[in-house]
Amino acid sequence: MMKKILIIFFISIFLLIPSLNLKANGLPYATYTYSSALNRMVWTQDAYIPLSIQTELSGLQLEEPQDLTIDKEDNLYISDYGNKRIIKYSLKDDSVLVIGEGILDEPMGIHVGDDGHLYVADFGLKMGLKFIFDENIGNYILDQTYEKPQNTPYFTDKDAFDPTKIITDKGNNVYMLLAGNINGLVEYENRGEFFGFFGGNTIPNTWDNVLKFILFDEDQRRQWFQMIPAPVYNIAVDNNGLILTTTKGQDGYLKLNIANFVYNESVWGFDSTEDLYVGPYDTIFTITSDGYITEYAPDGSVLFVFSGLDTSNQKGLFKSPTSIGVDSKNNIYALDQETSALQVFIPTEFADLVHYAINLYQDGKYSESLEPWQEVLKMNGLFDLANKGIGNAYFANMDYVQAMEYYEVARDQEGYSNAFWEVRNDLLLGSGSIIITILLVILVLYFVNLFTHFMDVVKRPMAKVKVYLSKYKLYLEMIYPFYIIKHPADGYYGVKREKKGSNLSAFIYVLLFFLAYIFWIYETSFLFNDRITSEINLVEEVVKIFVPFVLWVIANYLVCSIRDGEGKLSDVYQASAYTLLPMIITFPIVAIISKGLTYNESFIYDTLLIIGIAITVIYMIIMVKEVHFYDMKPTIGNILISIFTALMIIAVLFIIYLLLNEVYGLLSDIVREVINRG
């Protein structure tokens, strides 16, 4: 959900930004990175600059090029679909070699394996082909084909076999992606034998899917609900031989391990990814059909997002991108189907720095990565991967306080928790003796008190104050909810019949509840509270607390007065307000305790909070029962009906607001049209 929102806002940004002196490098696009501190995309230095755009390679014209790959010597291989050939192009010396002419029909996917051989997926010939370089003739010859397996239960004669992409892994097994096939990739041994499927998508375990699973059988599910997993759209392999897949309609990419489980996935991504490729530092590049190029760190976090859709023939943007490839110096090559052009992007100093830092970081050389990360941070103070990296560096150096600081900046809760544990540990170990002493002193004092009653010096004035205050009715009313907690039935009766409560004190209680809530939002430790304090808005919070409370009181009164309830409006109001006392006590306690906890003890925080909420809910139920004098079963029923009524009130108000808006719009349109015509 969060990702969808991000995507929508992200795309709409491109439509509406007035230029705000940020096009500092003169590019037709801006570059973004994801800041976890601010939970949003932030601008950053441009990482890649468009170098060139060419529609012909050394005299050869491309026509509808489909795929692009790069080998270890930085040669480009392009599947020139429209011209039925593969072009091997070297940017270094502008030399070109045509492969597969006469053999290929509709070459779509292309890959260079670890063994240096060329693998092509041909859609028209319905097979994968392996080409080996023959020194004698200076060109590639066909060595092996991978065709539709016969006599296997996996493929019937009717099943389609349309290969679109092809990759190989470290063991030189060949994987082909078949268009529309939901089982995943077909796996072949290098010699051509088919031995299974790999990497298909699974159906997500949403509630309605689980329900359908229980109620219907496989055929019914496939036919009526189209409950089939989405077909994988494109594939890539990384430097360790792990396979990555992207699917249209799903965000980002998935990285699979050899056991066919999802090993890692992108933290955020577009859902219209056209192609992906893994760079020399194991960073992952994707390009979407809207022309956005995204680079991910190996663990899936977003490094850079840039480029976009070309509406005015500008260099650096795309009309209909199909493929992306990266060479050993992180230069990006991308193919555009509509213009049949090859675009090249080169990394800036900033991108090189980030890659260098990531390289060290991913290798676990945290301390060495500190310097480059600090350089990166200098260039962009909000580049959160840098903050996380620096945090890890300090952690590895056992400088836990600094690590905590940087983790908080990077909003890395895991890391913060670990660092905080260490700091707390040190603190406790350091001050262990002091704590023991204090405890002993308290123990001693307690025993002394038993004999000498010196605490009466404190107790007697307190009792006097109590007596004094009891003269004021307001004080008695404020104290009353404590009595309600201990004796609910009697307490609520007191509110109802004995005027033990008042509207003023109820109001004070509601305000106290709000204050406790605010205290809780602001003061809870960052580990348990993901809200950014500057984004907390007074009006929003007021609405969040007061409106439901008021709606509940009103709805409850209305419903229960119809259904033979005894409570008056003021009774319901006062009783509800007093029932908030458990939460008023819980919120501050929980907030303060949370400051000393780490994730290892998160159960303490959760339990306390749940207990507080549970108590309040139980008391609410008891309140409804007692104030309206119901039996247990009708109480539950009436509570549910009250909640429903509250929702209905909101709905009705909303509809009225919309209608009024429409009326206003209509009137203003009439006025404008009259002015125009007249």
Partner 1 sequence: MAKWLKYAVIVLLFSSTLSLLVYGNSSLVTNNEVDVETNFNYINQTFLESSRFTQKDQVDQEKLDAFHENFMLPFTESDLETLGFEEMFNTPELLVYFEKDSFSMMVYNKKTGYLWSSRPEFQGISGERENNTSNRNLMNSGLWVEYVRAQNVSTSLISLDSLYSLADVSYQTDGSIKEGQEDFLSPYLIEEGSYKTRNVSVSYGNKNSQSFTVLIDLKEIDIKFSVIISLEDGTLSVSIPSESIEENGDIYRLLSVQIFPNLGAAREDSYPGYFMIPDGIGALVRLDQAHNTRFQAKYYGADMGYRQNTIPLLSVPIFGLVHEHGANGLVAEIEEGAEVSSLIAQFWGANTRYHRMGAKYDVRDIYRYVINKAGDGNDAITEGFTKSNFKINYRFLSGEDASYVGMAKAYRDTLISRGVLTPSEKELNDQIPINLSYIMSDQEKSFIGSTSVHMTSVDDVLKSYQLLKDENIYNQQITLFGWSKDGFVYQSPYRTRIPNKSDYMDLFETIINDQNTVYLDNDYVMASELTNRLSYNPDVARNLSRLKMESAYRSLNAQITEIYYLYPERSYVYAKKDQEFFIDLGISGLYLNSIGQKLYSYYDQENYERSVSLSYYQEIVDLYDNILLSTPNAYFFNALSGYLDMPITNAQYDYYSDLVPILPLILKGSISYYTPYLNFNAMGEDRLLAMVDFGINPSYILTEEDTYEMRYTNASIFYTTTRSDYEEEMVDTYHYLNDALKYVIGEPILNREVVETGLVKVTYENGVTIYVNYNYVGLMIDGITIPARDYEVVMP
| Least Cβ distance, residue 541 to partner 1 (angstroms) | 8
553-558: long-range contacts at Cβ-Cβ below 8 A with a sequence spacing of 24 or more? 554/646, 554/649, 555/642, 555/643, 555/645, 555/646, 555/649, 556/624, 556/638, 556/639, 556/642, 558/645
Half-sphere exposure of 152 (CA within 13 A, CB side): 13
Helix (H) or strand (E) holding 140: strand 139-146
Residue choice 72, 487, 595, 672 for contact with partner 1 (CB under 8 A): 672
Stretch of 56-64, 77-85, 199-207, 535-543 contacting partner 1, by CB under 8 A? 535-543
Q: What angle (nearest 5°) sits at the alpha carbon of residue 602, between those of residues 610 and 364?
A: 150
Stretch of 38-46, 149-157, 475-483, 615-623 contacting partner 1, by CB under 8 A? 38-46
Residue 226 interacts with partner 1 (CB under 8 A)? no
How far is Cα 658 from Cα 669, in angstroms, rounded to an integer? 16
Query: Ramachandran region of residue 661, left (φ > 0), alpha (ψ -120 to 50) or beta?
Result: alpha
Residue type present at position 469: L
Taking each helix axis from N to C end, the angle separating 581-594 and 473-486, rounded to the nearest 10 degrees, works out to 80
| Least Cβ distance, residue 375 to partner 1 (angstroms) | 6
Helix (H) or strand (E) holding 421: helix 413-452
Q: Which of 420, 297, 413, 286 is nearest to 356 (CA)?
A: 297
| Least Cβ distance, residue 214 to partner 1 (angstroms) | 39
The tokens for 630 are: 């119901």
Residue choice 57, 62, 78, 91 for contact with partner 1 (CB under 8 A): 91
Cβ contacts of residue 563 below 8 Å, gap of 6+?
634, 638, 641
| Least Cβ distance, residue 19 to partner 1 (angstroms) | 9
Stretch of 345-353, 445-453, 506-514, 546-554 contacting partner 1, by CB under 8 A? 345-353
What is the sign of the dihedral through the CA atoms of 180, 183, 189 and 192?
negative
Residue 5 interacts with partner 1 (CB under 8 A)? yes
Residue choice 210, 211, 532, 651 for contact with partner 1 (CB under 8 A): 532
Q: Which of 116, 124, 143, 117 is nearest to 81 (CA)?
A: 124
Residue choice 356, 480, 514, 605 for contact with partner 1 (CB under 8 A): 356
Residue 45 interacts with partner 1 (CB under 8 A)? yes
Contacts (CB under 8 A) with partner 1, residues 320-339 = 329, 331
Residue choice 52, 202, 220, 240 for contact with partner 1 (CB under 8 A): 52
The tokens for 313 are: 């023939």
Cβ closer to partner 1: 45 or 502?
45
| Least Cβ distance, residue 118 to partner 1 (angstroms) | 22
Residue 38 interacts with partner 1 (CB under 8 A)? yes
Token pair 């991978």 in the structure block, residue:
146
422 φ/ψ angles, rounded to the nearest 5 degrees: -65, -45
Cβ closer to partner 1: 358 or 484?
358
Cβ closer to partner 1: 264 or 348?
348
Cβ closer to partner 1: 397 or 437?
397
Cβ closer to partner 1: 253 or 304?
304
Residue choice 313, 433, 447, 467 for contact with partner 1 (CB under 8 A): 313
What is the sign of the dihedral through the CA atoms of 126, 132, 137 and 139?
positive
Counting Cβ atoms within 10 Å, is residue 42 exposed (0-12), middle (13-18) or buried (19+)? Answer: middle
Q: Which of 387, 653, 619 is nearest to 492 (CA)?
A: 619
Buried b (16+ CB within 10 A) or exposed e, 440-470: eeeeeeeeeeeeeeeeeeeeeeeeeeeeeee
Cβ closer to partner 1: 397 or 503?
397
Q: Quote the DSSP letter at residue 318.
A: B
Q: Quote the DSSP letter at residue 295.
A: E
Beta bridge partners of 146: 128
Residue 18 interacts with partner 1 (CB under 8 A)? yes
Helix (H) or strand (E) holding 244: strand 243-246
Residue choice 2, 26, 156, 226 for contact with partner 1 (CB under 8 A): 26
Cβ closer to partner 1: 28 or 488?
28
Residue choice 49, 68, 99, 622 for contact with partner 1 (CB under 8 A): 49
The tokens for 9 are: 């806002």
How far is Cα 143 from Cα 129, in angstroms, rounded to an integer? 8
| Least Cβ distance, residue 315 to partner 1 (angstroms) | 5
Considering CB under 8 A, how many residues would be counted as binding partner 1? Answer: 80
The rounded Cα 503 to chain-centroid distance in angstroms is 45
Residue 17 interacts with partner 1 (CB under 8 A)? yes
Cβ closer to partner 1: 492 or 587?
587
Residue choice 113, 269, 316, 612 for contact with partner 1 (CB under 8 A): 316
Contacts (CB under 8 A) with partner 1, residues 363-422 = 370-372, 374-375, 378-382, 394, 397, 399, 402, 409
Cβ closer to partner 1: 304 or 480?
304
Cβ closer to partner 1: 316 or 612?
316
List the 302-306 sheet strands across, edge first. Answer: 40-43, 32-35, 302-306, 293-296, 284-288, 273-278
Residue 73 interacts with partner 1 (CB under 8 A)? no
Coil/strand/helix, residue 196: strand
Residue choice 95, 202, 220, 314 for contact with partner 1 (CB under 8 A): 314
Contacts (CB under 8 A) with partner 1, residues 93-152 = 93
Stretch of 16-24, 136-144, 414-422, 634-642 contacting partner 1, by CB under 8 A? 16-24
Q: Are 180 and 229 in contact (CB under 8 A)?
A: no
Cβ closer to partner 1: 40 or 126?
40
| Least Cβ distance, residue 50 to partner 1 (angstroms) | 7
Residue 28 interacts with partner 1 (CB under 8 A)? yes
Residue 591 interacts with partner 1 (CB under 8 A)? no
How far is Cα 245 from Cα 264, in angstroms, rounded to an integer? 11
Residue 350 interacts with partner 1 (CB under 8 A)? yes
Residue choice 205, 312, 433, 452 for contact with partner 1 (CB under 8 A): 312
